[in-house]
Amino acid sequence: MIGRLNHVALVVPDLEQAAQSYRQSLGATISPVQELPDHGVKVVFVELPNTKIELLEVLGEASPIKAFLDKNPSGGMHHLCYEVDDILAARDQLKAAGARVLGDGAPKTGAHGKPVLFLHPKDFFGTLIELEQA
């Protein structure tokens, strides 16, 4: 079912500083900063030849990553996103296997404008998993 690793998301306390560090110390190609107020994040992409790393900063008090940053003030690894062909079929297969989908189980429009779901990290050994219909 799961296809490509679409991205790895890392939460950072200061996006400009993190982007600078990835650019200068690691010599990576970094996208411009995007503010996504509907998703409560500011984001840059670290563009790699085979996938991308999303660096996320809290945007607004209702940000879904605020609790994570409060718990990990230096930042940390937040989630992995796998691509699927059919998100409803994927959801139904996962639910049948006993995995919990976060929220009401209906796909939302993700930060890239595509349907996404999140799976409960307790069902995947402490890793938060996003599925995105590619």
Q: Which residues are catalytic?
A: 130
SS3 state of residue 38: helix
Q: Does 34 engage in binding with a second copy (CB under 8 A)?
A: no
Q: Which of residues 58-87 bind a second copy (CB under 8 A)?
A: 72, 74-77, 80, 82
Q: Helix, strand, coil: what percent of the chain each, to 5? A: 25, 35, 40
Identified binder of a second copy from the candidate list 32, 103, 113, 126, rule CB under 8 A:
126
Extract the runs of DSSP E, i.e. beta strands, from the chain: 5-11, 29-30, 34-36, 41-47, 52-58, 76-84, 108-109, 115-119, 128-133
Q: Is residue 13 a contact partner of residue 74, using CB atoms and an 8 Å limit?
A: yes
Identified binder of a second copy from the candidate list 32, 49, 103, 113, rule CB under 8 A:
49
Q: Is residue 78 a contact partner of residue 39, using CB atoms and an 8 Å limit?
A: no
Q: At its nearest, how many Å lie between a second copy and the CB of residue 54?
A: 12
Q: Which residue, 38 or 97, has its beta carbon nearer to a second copy? A: 97
Question: Contact positions toward a second copy, by CB under 8 A?
Answer: 1-5, 8, 10-13, 18, 21, 24-28, 48-51, 53, 55, 72, 74-77, 80, 82, 93-94, 97-99, 121-127, 129
